Amino acid sequence: MSNIIITDSSLRDGNHSVKHTISLDSIKKYCQAADSAKVPIVEVGHGNGLGASSLLIGKATHTDAEMLSTARANLPNSKLGVHVIPGIATVEKDIKPAIDLGVDVFRIASHCTEATVTKSHIDYLSKTDKEVIGVLMMTALATIDELVDNAKIMADYGAQAIIIMDSTGTYLPDDVKFRIMRLVDALDIPVGFHAHNNLNYAIHNSIIAIQTGATYIDACIRGFGAGAGNAPLEILLPVLDKYGYSVDIDFKKIINEADNVLNYLVPKVPVSAPVNILTGLNKLFSGFEKPIIKASKLNNIEYSSLIFELGNRKLVAGQEDLILEVAQNLNK
Amino acid sequence: MIKAGIIGTGNIGTDLLLKLIKTDFIEPVIFAGRRMSSNGIKLAQEKSIPVTDKGIDYFIENCCVADVVYDCTNAIDAKQHAKVFEEQGVKVIDLTPAKIGDLCVPTINPEAIKTRGNVNMITCGGQASTPLLNVISKHCDLEYIEVVSQIASDSAGMATRLNIDNYIHTTERAISEFTGCNNCKVILNLNPAIPQVDMQTTLFIKAENIKFTSLNKDIYKTIKRLKEYIPHYELVMPPTINNDVLVLSIKVKGTGDYLPEYAGNLDIINCAAIEISKNLYE
């Protein structure tokens, strides 16, 4: 046994790749499969988390309450997790109802340099019996020192673990190694990593993260996630095994489900298409893939020129409105 | 001249003071803070504005030195101050999120300052979006409104960050009040890019029976009016309809009086507060 805790983000990050249309039936089926395979934490919801169904990011087919209650009913053993971004989700409107629906793990996320916006949310949750994890997104946009400072801020507020996300899929293994090493050294709570596969390093980076001391690792079935997708769960498990890390998840069930999901959850297995390579290199949020393609077509411009300009503007996650504005102005 | 007091000598209060000095209808008679050594007080002294470090006690001891007081402190203190000024019959323009008085927007309900003792300036997103949403509501049947704002991280102090939920709830309430549409959503993004980004607000509107020509005309008319008191309020994405959703985007730069130019989000509140005061003069 090792102390590695895998969070399956297929039903949350995967929602990005189907414009937030995952059906309740798919949630039910996948939760049953993940639960029976003993996946510790299953994350569910709109791609940008609680309260994020919007014209800005994409309207979800189902409400948070529908998705979470369906998941809860089909996760007798696994913990149910949600992603929460202050600025989008509030304690009153979103967190309290989610607690009532039986969510166990709240992952409170901010842009990598903006940890101080999470104070009221983490404060509130740390007074409940729920697990609260601090998540730093878009971390390729911060220096290592900034990351450490922001992780410490979340830890001070009461986060029980810190996960850094390579939301842009930019990292090479050394980038991950130096960041995780510093974080593990600076914090006395567990550290985690969430990979994206834009440069085909998701598995490699996840392994490096674990080797340098990370214990919370995110993965998705078939890599089902935003843009080029995440670390595929069915690959991560056997690779971990080969490296000598034992994880108490039933690999046979997962490998079997990796085929099944093509029939109900994953319409297209994510690959790193040219657009994803470019967003990765320009440090743009993986979830921008679809809005970028749409805005380029609408305004008759090359998506590569749009990506370069958006990279210059240093957009953070949740700024889909600026994609439209920049595309319109490039068209002029 | 309107005799005006400012309580709170932080960034907002100091910027407001410099703006008041530039007007020809408001006379700042007292700039009240807590510390004589604060940058704001020093600057006020340079400008020969009377200052005090006694805060609210100054107003208690000197009843009615001002016709109107701008409260630039914080939500908790503003509640205490409001009681004092109410007893004295002094008008208050509240720039904190205390929400004691009516929510007030210069282009929508400026008369509130005459009829009520205390008016609240809502939020930056509220001042930027409700004037447009209010006129839009007259040219369609609103189903849903979404307001997304970007502000520079450097313009968002710890108070803003701690009260990020409050920002969302208050702005949503103002949108409902000034449009009659209860189905609305507000999102705030902090962007840390250097050089700092300007405040930018995008409106997404789902509506039926959109009378686009008249709506469009009214939007441009309103923006012209807004520019009279928010000089750098600018349309950066003109109204367009895509898949039944009306979208438009505006940018607000500050005038750089004390706050930096990128802090349009803070500037706009001060601009609105001064514009509201005109109604006391007329």
The whole-angstrom distance between A126's CA and the closest CA on chain B is: 16
The whole-angstrom distance between B165's CA and the closest CA on chain A is: 5
For residue A150, what pLDDT is reported? 98
> Starting at the edge strand that comes first in sequence, how are the strands of the sheet with B102-103 ordered?
B51-52, B26-32, B2-7, B68-71, B91-94, B118-120, B102-103
The single residue listed with the structure tokens 């740390």 is: A126
* CB-CB neighbors (< 8 A) of A114 in chain B: 153, 161, 190, 192
For residue B282, what pLDDT is reported? 66
For residue A1, what pLDDT is reported? 47
Helices A320-331 and A289-299: crossing angle, nearest 10°? 30
Domains of chain B from N-terminus onward? 2-100 (3.40.50.720), 124-262 (3.30.360.10)
Q: Which residues share a beta bridge with B142? A: B207
Q: Which of B149, B166, B190, B265 should be substituted to probe chain A, the one whose Cβ sees the most A Cβ atoms within 10 Å?
A: B190
pLDDT per position as a tens digit, B37-48: 999 999 999 999
* CB-CB neighbors (< 8 A) of A325 in chain B: 200, 202, 236-237, 249
Stated pTM of the model: 0.96
Q: How far apart are CA B53 and CA A117, in angstroms?
A: 31
pLDDT per residue, tens digit, chain A (332 aa), is 479 999 999 999 999 999 999 999 999 999 999 999 999 999 999 999 999 999 999 999 999 999 999 999 999 999 999 999 999 999 999 999 999 999 999 999 999 999 999 999 999 999 999 999 999 999 999 999 999 999 999 999 999 999 999 999 999 999 999 999 999 999 999 999 999 999 999 999 999 999 999 999 999 999 999 999 999 999 999 999 999 999 999 999 999 999 999 999 999 999 999 999 999 999 999 999 999 999 999 999 999 999 999 999 999 999 999 999 999 999 88
The alpha-helical segments, DSSP class H, found in A75-232 are 96-100, 119-126, 144-157, 173-186, 202-211
What's the burial of A33, exposed, middle or buried (CB within 10 Å: 0-12/13-18/19+)?
buried
* CB-CB neighbors (< 8 A) of A93 in chain B: 168-169
Q: By the 8 A CB rule, do A54 and A93 touch?
A: no
Q: What are phi and psi of A116, to 5 degrees?
A: -65, -15
Task: Give Cα separations from A86 to A16, A152, A160 (angstroms).
Answer: 19, 18, 18
The whole-angstrom distance between B280's CA and the closest CA on chain A is: 36
Q: Which class is domain A274-331?
A: mainly alpha
For residue B43, what pLDDT is reported? 97
The residue extents of the domains of chain A are: 5-264, 274-331
- What are B's interface residues with A at a Cβ cutoff of 8 A? 144, 146, 148, 150, 153, 156, 158, 161-165, 168-169, 185, 187-193, 197, 200, 202, 204, 206, 236-237, 240, 242, 245, 247, 249
Task: Give Cα separations from A257 to A36, A37, A66, A208, A220 (angstroms).
Answer: 11, 10, 23, 26, 12
Which of A189, A199, A193 is closest to A178 using CA atoms?
A: A193
For residues A64, A194, A114, A288, the Cα torsion angle rounded to the nearest 10 degrees is -70
Which fold, A5-264? TIM Barrel (3.20.20)
For residue B244, what pLDDT is reported? 87
Helix (H) or strand (E) holding B252: strand B245-252
Q: How far apart are CA A164 and CA A184, in angstroms?
A: 12
Q: Largest Cα–Cα distance of chain B, in whole Å?
A: 61
What's the burial of B78, exposed, middle or buried (CB within 10 Å: 0-12/13-18/19+)?
buried
Q: How far apart are CA A184 and CA A193, in angstroms?
A: 12
First-residue to last-residue Cα distance in chain B: 10
Q: Catalogue the active-site residues of B.
A: 124
The whole-chain average pLDDT of chain B stands at 96
Entry field: residues in chain A: 332
User: Is there a cis peptide before residue B195, judged by omega within 30 degrees of 0?
Assistant: yes
DSSP string, B178-206: HHS---EEEEEEEE--SSPPPEEEEEEEE
Tokens of B208: 């039926």
Q: By the 8 A CB rule, do B103 and B174 touch?
A: yes
Q: How far apart are CA B129 and CA A112, in angstroms?
A: 28
For residue B159, what pLDDT is reported? 87
> Starting at the edge strand that comes first in sequence, how are the strands of the sheet with B199-208 ordered?
B184-191, B141-152, B199-208, B245-252, B233-242
Task: Give Cα separations from B280 to A193, A199, A265, B25 (angstroms).
Answer: 58, 62, 62, 10
Collect the ranges in chain B with pLDDT lower than 50.
none
CA atoms within 13 A on the CB side of B169: 12
* CB-CB neighbors (< 8 A) of B242 in chain A: 298
Q: How far apart are CA A19 and CA A47, in angstroms?
A: 8
Nearest CA in chain B to A317: B189
The whole-angstrom distance between B251's CA and the closest CA on chain A is: 11
